[in-house]
């Protein structure tokens, strides 16, 4: 197969490979921007007390959580934990199991957030750190008073302390 030379001296295959590399990089960058935008959208829902909507966005984002950067993973864990915590308080009185499940999930996610905060305290604002720490302390006290065997809410490949860089 004869190479067709471009006026600049590059053959078509080299140009095609370069184009493919640039396109793949652009897609990767845009997907990171999309994940960050999703995290921001979930945060906005949380701030206006649309906790169910925040959780829906966070659950979808959680499927690709590994695409987030280290600081965004810590923010994700914090927001996910605080959202579960708020939803626990809104669970109907006739459904105590829902309340318990949300509180257990809040505990798992906030434990993961706390582990991340030790390695990168600047990932969260001072207010977010204080709120997450206070809430985790409350949940830890509750867990000590009524220990129960239960499953974790975190994905199977993530331990509560696994917040990798």
Alpha helices (H) along 5-158: 12-47, 51-62, 70-90, 96-119, 126-145
- Domain spans of the chain? 34-145
Q: What pTM, to 2 d.p., does this model score?
A: 0.74
**Confidence tier at 93 by pLDDT (50, 70, 90):** confident
Which of 20-34, 38-52, 130-144 is predicted with the least confidence, judged by mean pLDDT? 20-34
Q: What's the mean pLDDT when you consider all of the chain?
A: 80
Contact 65, 31 (CB under 8 A): no
């Amino acid at each position: 197969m004869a190479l067709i030379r471009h006026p600049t001296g590059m053959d078509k295959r080299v140009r095609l490979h370069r184009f493919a590399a640039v396109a793949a990089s652009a897609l990767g960058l845009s997907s990171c921007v999309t994940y960050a935008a999703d995290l921001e959208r979930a945060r906005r829902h949380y701030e206006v007390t649309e906790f169910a909507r925040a959780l829906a966005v966070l659950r979808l984002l959680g499927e690709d959580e590994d695409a987030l950067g280290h600081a965004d993973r810590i923010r994700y864990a914090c927001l996910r934990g605080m959202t579960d915590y708020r939803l626990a308080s809104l669970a109907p009185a006739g459904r105590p199991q829902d309340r318990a499940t949300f509180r257990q999930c809040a505990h798992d996610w906030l434990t993961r957030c706390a582990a991340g905060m030790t390695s990168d305290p600047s990932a969260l604002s001072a207010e977010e750190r204080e709120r997450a720490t206070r809430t985790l302390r409350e949940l830890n006290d509750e867990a000590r008073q009524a220990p129960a065997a239960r499953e974790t809410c975190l994905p199977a490949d993530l331990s509560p302390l696994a917040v990798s860089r």
